[in-house]
Structure 1
Amino acid sequence: MDFLHDAGHVHDPGALFSYCNAGYCVLGALVARVRGTTWERATRERLLDPLGATHSALLPEEAILFRAAAGHVGPEGAVHHRWDMPRSNAPAGSTMCLAPRELVRFGRMFTAGGLTEDGIRLLSEESVAAMRTRQVDVPGISGLLADRWGLGFELFDWGGEVYGHDGGTIGQSTFWRVVPGADFAIAMSANGGDFLGLLVDVVLPVIREATGLAVPDFPVPAGTPQVVDLTPYTGGYQGPMISYQVAEVDGGLEITMIPGEFMTNAGTSRTTTRFVHHSGHSFIAVEPQDGRHETITFVVEDGRASHIHNGRALPRA
């Protein structure tokens, strides 16, 4: 594990939630080391094969045996120039491909307390319970977004227990939710276009009808946003792949996202978006993008924002 030397941190341990691909990569490396094999082989032998997942791929040479779809990006829906993502990020989801029905099969294993459809125990009931138990709160606007995390699971406050995990690579997105009280699991994958529109128009109504839960809609800006002091939020925030510049403009915030080299090479462009106050230290984009108003939350300490947060926490530069 000598590749971890000189690793820094964005906040004190346990002080704040920030989604971390590198953390999952460390877990994958630990699994490979403990099992004396590769992450891919351990995943297939200890999870996918016992689960009965037949439509799965962990490497590009496996994916081409199925109807693998390329990612599409931009308003023109152009095919992204690269299909595969770095294998070094595989435990964080950069290479694994599963048909939606396999994700549903995976979800039903959890509703069964860790048992597969064939009665094979993949996880102990104690492990399943720990994954569903709150470990840390997520700053920001809850509702359709996770407001807390378990061990690997996003946890949602929808008037009943709901957990899952979303993900995506460039031009491709996946949505996965499990409602154990209704013995219900649902998954959707898309490779471009208005993914969020499809989610709102098709998937969320299905969840509401099948489970009876009052699944919330995405948040929208208020007709007349509250006027707040914007001074604590302005300034620069720096992360390893992107940075933000936050300025006060016309009673709101103008937030410029500046991609680093990796994100630029992946096709991400510099953008500037106007936000207005939503609630607390959270702000919401005035204009929707891909069917959703983006939200941003600031973590404030001693009257000044120390981090900007949109799932990942970036410290003030």
Structure 2
Amino acid sequence: MRGKRFHDVLREHLVIPLGLRAVAVDPYEAILHRAAVGHVEADGELVPTQSWAVRYHCVPSGSHLAMSARDLLEFVRLHLTDDTFAALREPQLGSVPDFGGGIVGWGLGWMLHRDGVLGHTGVSKGQKAFVRVAPSAGVAVAVLTNSSGGEPMAYEIFGAVLRELAGVETTPLPVPPANPAPIDPDRMGGIYRTTAYDITLAVDNGRAFLTHCPRNSCIGKPENRVEVVRLGDSAIITVEPKSGVHQVLSVVGSDELGRARFLHNGAAAYRIG
């Protein structure tokens, strides 16, 4: 729209005016800073990733953006001190899928949590970044991790900070219920498809299992099936954690037979069978 690359516009209108010093828009700039290397779990151990980020052509504009926690909070300060940015915090969706994390709506870029907390989470290869904001208290906290298993630590940190400085109790990471209700095989069971995977939710002798099968051999091999249980009325959760976190998938919509139309884990997988 401006006749320039997204990254050039980003630097011209945000990075330079805000005086941000540790910002990289691509790997070529990241190597000029103290760029962290991501770590992923392999055979029960954390090992460095084989590449720093997802390939540029595979992601939308801005997805290679990296910065220090200090610069990230300086960007958040702009949202807290300029009233024109309050519109970005207004709900844009009537409802959002239930992932068990306390998110009740979406603004423009912001996840809207209970108790008025805003947030956003970024994920790259073996790295996760978190920012949580309590606008009413003028408090923000950023946590950057270079491990796929950094989420529990991040939740502990920003939970403690917001509790102490803003008087807010954040929603903890979801865990399987002690006595889950049975999964409805007629409504929830079936095969769901994304651009990359076919996902099968099968119920066998009262137990439910999830299997991801890549649609292209370049993506990888089929994953071992993972047991899931019901989490509330419209979600399922993995029994065993991966990298310290139980994955939650939301069951969305109904077709003419009363079956779920989508299985949602941040990206919607549509029913094909």
> Which TM-score applies when normalising by structure 1?
0.78
Which residue is 2:134 aligned to? Answer: 179
Percent identity between the two aligned chains: 32
Which residue is 1:23 aligned to? Answer: none
Q: After the TM superposition, list the runs of 4 or more consecutive aligned residues in structure 1 that deviate by more than 3 angstroms.
A: 88-93, 259-263
Give the Å deviation of 1:129: 2.6
- Given that residues 86 and 94 in structure 1 are in contact (C-alpha distance below 8 angstroms), is that contact kept between their aligned partners in structure 2? no
The alignment covers a number of residue pairs equal to: 267
Distance, in Å, in 2 between the alignment partners of 1:263 and 1:97 is 27
- Given that residues 91 and 107 in structure 2 are in contact (C-alpha distance below 8 angstroms), is that contact kept between their aligned partners in structure 1? yes
3-state secondary structure, aligned to 1:44: helix
Alignment of 1:130-149 (within 5 A): 130-136=87-93, 137-142=95-100, 144-149=101-106
Distance, in Å, in 2 between the alignment partners of 1:311 and 1:111 is 27
Q: 1:224 to 1:84 in 2, by over 3 A?
A: closer
Which residue is 1:15 aligned to? Answer: none
Tell me if 1:200 matches 2:147.
Answer: no
Which residue is 1:71 aligned to? Answer: 38
Give the Å deviation of 1:41: 0.7
Aligned residues: CA RMSD: 2.1
Q: 1:87 to 1:76 in 2, by over 3 A?
A: same
Which residue is 2:113 aligned to? Answer: 156
Which residue is 2:245 aligned to? Answer: 292
Pairing partner for 1:61 from 18, 28, 37: 28
Q: 1:209 to 1:194 in 2, by over 3 A?
A: same
Which residue is 1:50 aligned to? Answer: 17
- Given that residues 6 and 62 in structure 2 are in contact (C-alpha distance below 8 angstroms), is that contact kept between their aligned partners in structure 1? no
Distance, in Å, in 1 between the alignment partners of 2:218 and 2:33 is 28
- Given that residues 189 and 201 in structure 2 are in contact (C-alpha distance below 8 angstroms), is that contact kept between their aligned partners in structure 1? yes
Distance, in Å, in 1 between the alignment partners of 2:92 and 2:143 is 26
3-state secondary structure, aligned to 1:258: strand
Distance, in Å, in 2 between the alignment partners of 1:286 and 1:101 is 37
3-state secondary structure, aligned to 1:296: strand
The residue identity in structure 1 corresponding to 2:227 is R
Pairing partner for 2:86 from 117, 125, 129: 129
Alignment of 1:213-232 (within 5 A): 213-232=168-187
Gaps of 5+ in 1: 1-33, 115-124
- Given that residues 244 and 258 in structure 1 are in contact (C-alpha distance below 8 angstroms), is that contact kept between their aligned partners in structure 2? yes
Which residue is 2:234 aligned to? Answer: 281
The residue identity in structure 2 corresponding to 1:286 is V
The residue identity in structure 1 corresponding to 2:166 is T
Q: 1:193 to 1:42 in 2, by over 3 A?
A: closer
